[in-house]
Every structure is written in C-alpha cells, then in structure tokens.
Amino acid sequence: MDLVFFGSGAFGLPTLEALAGAHRVAGVVTQPDRPAGRGKSLAPTPIGTWAAAHLAGVPMWKPERVNAPDVLSEIRDISADVWVVIAFGQKLSAALLDGRFAINLHASLLPRWRGAAPINAAILAGDERTGNSVIALAERMDAGLVLGQSTRPIEPEQTAGDLHDLLAADGPALVMQVLDDKAAGKLDAREQDESKVTIAPKLSAADRWVDFREPAPNCRRRIHGLTPWPGVSVQAGSARLKLSRVEVVDVQAEPDQVGTLVDAAKGIVACGGASGLRLIEVQPEGKRAMSWEDYARGHQPAVGTKFDGGRAPC
C-alpha cells in the first residue's frame, strides 16, 4: 500500500520502520523541531530524525498547525491508500480526514484509557493487563471503531517507560495485520462500549507526589506509573530523591514509622498497612540514577530518616 505516516514520539518508530519495509511511505508528517538539551538548540522529533535518515526523497512536513489550509491541501494531494497516525500530537480535522482511510495506534485496550497518558493510567490503576488498539480516526478523540487489538500483562516490576517500549514493539504486527485485513476486504470494525470508557488525563509536574500512608502496592504503582516522567520525587532528610524502581516487602513497623527509613542497608521505607517498599533505583537531584546500594554507600542515610512524598494529610 501507499501510506502517509503522521507521528512524532518514539512510540511510533518501530511501526514506521516496519511499514517502510513492507509498504511505500509516500509522506511523513511530524511536529516542528523544538528546543532541546542544555543548549536549547532545535532538535527534530524521533520520527523526524528517523525519516530524514532512512526515507530520502520522501516529502516531510513539520507544521505548527496541520489543519492550516495550505498544509491541509498539500497533504491531501499525496496519493495514498491509508494514513497511519501514531503519537502525532495534533488532532486531525474533519476537513483533513474527509474521504481518507486513516487509522491510529493507541496504547490501551479501548475503550479503557482514552486520552493522553494511557500507559501511565493503566499502571496507576493497578490493571493486570493492557495492550494496543488500532482504531479508525473519529471526530472524538480515541472514540473510533476498533479494528484490532493486542494484549500483554503488566508485571509488578515494570515502569511506564518499560511498558511504553514493550507496547511500541508490539505495534508493528498489529498495524500490519489491520492493513492486511483491509487489503483482503475482511476488516472487523467494532464500536466501542461507551459505558466502559475511562479517561487517562495528561500528566504534569504536580503529579510527582507519593503518599507513604497508602499500602506499599499503591505506592509502587504510583512510582512505577510515573517513571520516567514526571517521576516521583521525595525529600529524604536533607536530600531530594527521585524514586525510579521499588519492590513491595513485608514490614512490621509502628504507626509513627510510616514514611521513614526502617532498614538503611536495604533501603526499606515503611508504608501503611504493615507493608514497605525496598528502594531499588534512585536519582539524587542533579545526579545520575543509581542503585540504592550505591546511594547509601556515598550518603550513609540513617534509620529513621523521614521520606516526605509531597502530599499533605487530608
């Protein structure tokens, strides 16, 4: 098939690579170059970088507004059988989509977790399974007909970053299957059950808290669900730490020990419900991520150190 690919984030890279090997990419649309790094020099999106290196001669657009009349006209002039949209970052208007077969790869089992942060939301909610959905683009965000789905379990040790990469790697097979079904005339398009819709809102720096009064499994889900971004940051005595990876352990602690370090060598913090977290990986402010053992060796935190997760008592 001839296709136009709309994407910006790294989530769509494996699928673009697979599509470029099996079909003809007639055009790529991505977000404009943005300031990045300490020098704030302009940098292309992951999709823009890959396309420039591997799709020589293929037209590429980097519009601030993809629905602007001049941009819309140029893209619609490209002859293509399908438009594939993955983590693009702008909503495609009805005028742009009119008469086009356009599909979107979304990182959840729709209708669960429509919205901006479905991977994070699945971990935060304690879902045991998640997956990808390929849908037909619709006027309402993530509400289109479901054309195919894949599933995978969510393991306790997985962060949102881990799950992002796994789901991204699952994407090509699912998208290719939908395109094969389209070519064979056997697409199975299913409406989403609106009664089962849940929303995954956009995250922000204000979400970096954790409440150690909650049972440890809840705290683990929050830390892993927000890693790598926006991350969970705590005040540990005089140090500011980002918690990246943790493990739930049994702890017999007194109520006044909740939120404190009860085993300095192993990095165990007491939580509510007679449970605790073993800190596996932390990142001191302004420094690289490291194991708890390395951090403890250099900083020698004491038993009883208070870990303030940044959420005031209700």
Where does a domain end: 154, 178, 200? 200
Q: What is the pLDDT confidence band of residue 294, given thresholds at 50, 70 and 90? A: very high
Domains of the chain: total: 2
Where does a domain end: 200, 232, 256? 200
For the whole model, what pTM was predicted? Answer: 0.95
| pLDDT given for residue 270 in this prediction | 98
Question: pLDDT of 135-161, one tens digit each?
Answer: 999 989 999 999 999 999 999 999 999
Any idea what the CATH number is for the domain that residue 290 is in?
3.10.25.10
Same domain, 106 and 180: yes
Any idea what the CATH number is for the domain that residue 160 is in?
3.40.50.170
| pLDDT given for residue 313 in this prediction | 54
Question: pLDDT of 163-213, one tens digit each?
Answer: 999 999 999 999 999 999 999 999 999 999 999 999 999 999 999 999 999
117 within a domain of the structure (yes/no): yes
HEC letters along 129-192: EEEEEEEECCCCCCCCCEEEEEEEECCCCCCHHHHHHHHHHHHHHHHHHHHHHHHHCCCCCECC
| pLDDT given for residue 40 in this prediction | 82
Question: pLDDT of 30-64, one tens digit each?
Answer: 999 999 877 788 999 999 999 999 999 999 999 99
